[in-house]
Amino acid sequence: MRLHIDSDLGDDPDDACALVMTLGWPGVEVCGVTTVDDADGRRADLVRELLVMLGATHVPVASGGPTPGAAIDLLTESIEAGARLVAVGPYTNLAHVERSLPGALDGVPVFTMGGWVDALPDGYPPWGPSRDRNVQHDVDAALTVFGSRADLTFVPCAAAVTATLRTADLARLSAAGATGSLLARQSVEHGEDNGYRELAARHAALPADLVNFHWDPVTCAVAVGWPGATLTEMDLRPVLDQGVLRFERQSEGRRTRVVTAVDGATFSGRWLDAIEAAEHRMPTGDAGTTRP
């Protein structure tokens, strides 16, 4: 299975966790990585550094900034190669593809981290649609992708919130190798900066030793067919309320697959298996392929 990851790697370390995990997932070929919201190319450079650490410099990388031509080209190549597209950042690059080549996303399997449909379950933080950062960062892009004829799957926060990185996972993650150790350190710093331990103390459904949320790793896992997620087909329509976009059920809406539940406990072990596999994979391919 070919997978193309469109990412805003460089802020929340769950993007890096998702990329490394997918590189170690059996039967999956990451055929391209594009970065979004990347005016200076810094995010793309960070992706390349990770690929070097893992001996995966054969994976092409393109930066999507104010003039995202290289990202559009690489995404188009991945579509033509039959890849599934996974957007774990704002949907800007995917929207550029659809606008520059109308119909380019027709029938293409697209998996997005985000797409607010339901509230979080009891015991979790009372977040609302404004928390759906990937959608709210570029609402026009989200509407473009939703309005396309892509084969669309949402992985909303309400389902992915059950998959977390915990202090109990850090020893195994750090022991996986240099990349795992880096991910562990970055995740701890991110969790401390965002007060996740204090957040967990206020909400009973969160683990007391919460380090971070696995938003992006879960989305990539769903894209590669991990069976621990429940998918439901819904007819949805977009609702824009004071600039905040959410989606609600409507009988004549767009048919969309929505992840409604995630087995977070099982995912904790499965993603670590893939991280270990990525750390120990044999380097393949030639020197790295990069694009500006």
pLDDT for the residue 281: 75
Q: What is the DSSP string of 191-218?
A: HHHTTHHHHHHH-TTS-TTEEEE-HHHH
pLDDT of 144: 98
Contact 109, 2 (CB under 8 A): no
SS (H, E, C) 65-130: CCCCHHHHHHHHHHHHCCCEEEECCCCHHHHHHHHHCCCCCCCCEEEEEECCCCCCCCCCCCCCHH
Owning domain of residue 269: 2-163+208-279
Q: At what angle do helices 92-100 and 69-80 cross, to 10 degrees?
A: 80
State the pLDDT at residue 66.
Answer: 76
Q: What is the DSSP letter of 56?
A: -
- How many whole angstroms from its chain centre is CA 178? 22
Domain presence at residue 289: no
Which of the 8 DSSP states describes residue 176? T
Confirm whether 201 is domain-assigned: no
The pLDDT value recorded for residue 131 is 95
Residue 68 is predicted with a pLDDT of 86
Query: Of 51, 49, 59, whose CA–CA distance to 29 is shortest?
Result: 59
Mean pLDDT by runs of 10 across the 292 residues of the chain is: 97 96 97 94 96 96 88 97 98 96 98 97 96 96 98 98 97 96 97 96 97 98 98 97 96 97 96 95 46 41
Residue 238 lies inside a defined structural domain of this protein: yes
Give the pairing of strands 164-166 and 84-87: unpaired
Kindly state whether residue 284 falls inside one of the protein's structural domains: no
Query: DSSP string of 239-284?
Result: EEETTEEEEEE-TTSEEEEEEEEE-HHHHHHHHHHHHHHHHTPPP-
CA angle 166, 172, 173 (to 5 degrees): 70
Q: Which residues pair with 235 in a beta bridge?
A: 255
Q: What is the distance between the alpha carbons of residues 236 and 58, in angstroms, rounded to a whole number?
A: 39
Within a domain: residue 13? yes
Instruction: Provide the CATH number for the domain around residue 214.
Output: 3.90.245.10
Q: Is residue 57 part of a domain?
A: yes
3-state secondary structure of 20: helix
C-alpha pair distances (Å), 55 with each of 17, 51, 58, 160, 288: 16, 6, 8, 30, 10
Query: Does 242 reside within a domain?
Result: yes
Amino acid at 71: A
Residue with tokens 């767009």: 254
The total domain count for the chain is 1
Q: Other CB atoms closer than 10 Å to residue 283's CB: what's the count?
A: 10
**Does some domain include residue 226?**
yes
DSSP type of residue 291: -
**CB-based contact 225:1 (threshold 8 Å):** yes
